[in-house]
Amino acid sequence: MTAGALSKESLPPRAPRKHQTQLGKRLKFAWTSGIRELRKRFEDSLLGGLWLFLGPALLIGVYWAVFDLVVGIEFTDPRTGNAVPFLAAFAVGFFLYLTFSEMIGSSANWFKSKRRLVRESDLPVWTIFASLTARVFIQFLFYIAIVLIVCWSYGLATVQGSLLYVASSLLVFWVFAGFGLVTAYLGTFFGDVKEIVPVIMRILFYTSSITFPLSLVPETFRWIPLINPLTWPVEMMRDLLLWDAHNWMQFLGPIFLIGLAIWSIALFFHWRLAPRLADIV
């Protein structure tokens, strides 16, 4: 037996990368839990997961009929002044709202709905919240696909704009997840949060530029949609898909700063409250 062989045999076995293994297991748990939640949602439905497409498509059809055909709201390209189909401009903003609404609405009661998991499992709290994030993210991917289909069907989108739209969507989702984590902790301690969230979401919907262009808002009241956290990502996504990425960079900075601010609050809440969560839910 050679000295090299002896030296190799005499070496102790490598310790498993425990932390990496645990992290991988927890991320896998979060992802599979998100998929399981969606399957449970559609298990009694004849069309099953097709509702991830059909439901949103029917919704935008209703809004299109009301705001375009009845009310007659028009969107225009800020570069050329040409009219842009309402359905395309609306879909870009509406599916951001649906994602945000799903994240916040579910977060408000998430830890209480997972009471047994919080109390009895050895999973860290962030993993339990990550399972919600995974579920909403899967839905968000379907929404992205619908938006791209609508915009390309009108011949408005470009390859560059579509790629930037998908990449920017990840940034926006990161911001939404931060809001969700803050809401999850607040909802655990204050039951009123669950009741007030639907009201807040409707206010955000009608005061953002989802159903109307900012140009329709009088200068005196334009500050209202501008302080709405939904307006900035909506306008950025429209610029990427409909205005040929003309001015999207001006929205990127504020969105990133909003994300940093909300995640700072979320991580502070997590640091202070996660150790006590099992005693509260």
Q: Global pTM?
A: 0.84
Q: Report, as an integer, the average pLDDT of 175-188.
A: 94
Polymer length in residues for the chain: 281
For the ranges 91-95, 106-110, 223-227, 276-280, the lowest mean pLDDT is seen at 276-280
pLDDT of 87-132, one tens digit each? 999 999 999 999 999 999 999 988 888 888 778 777 788 888 899 9
Place of tokens 């050895």: 122
Q: Report, as an integer, the average pLDDT of 1-17.
A: 46
Q: How far apart are CA 265 and CA 259, in angstroms?
A: 10
Q: With contact defined as beta carbons under 8 Å apart, do 248 and 229 qualify?
A: no
* % of the chain at pLDDT higher than 90: 32
Q: Report, as an integer, the average pLDDT of 185-199.
A: 89
Q: How far apart are CA 156 and CA 154, in angstroms?
A: 5
Q: Is 37 left (phi over 0), alpha (psi -120 to 50) or beta?
A: alpha
Q: How far apart are CA 97 and CA 205, in angstroms?
A: 7
Which pLDDT score, from 0 to 100, does residue 5 have? 45
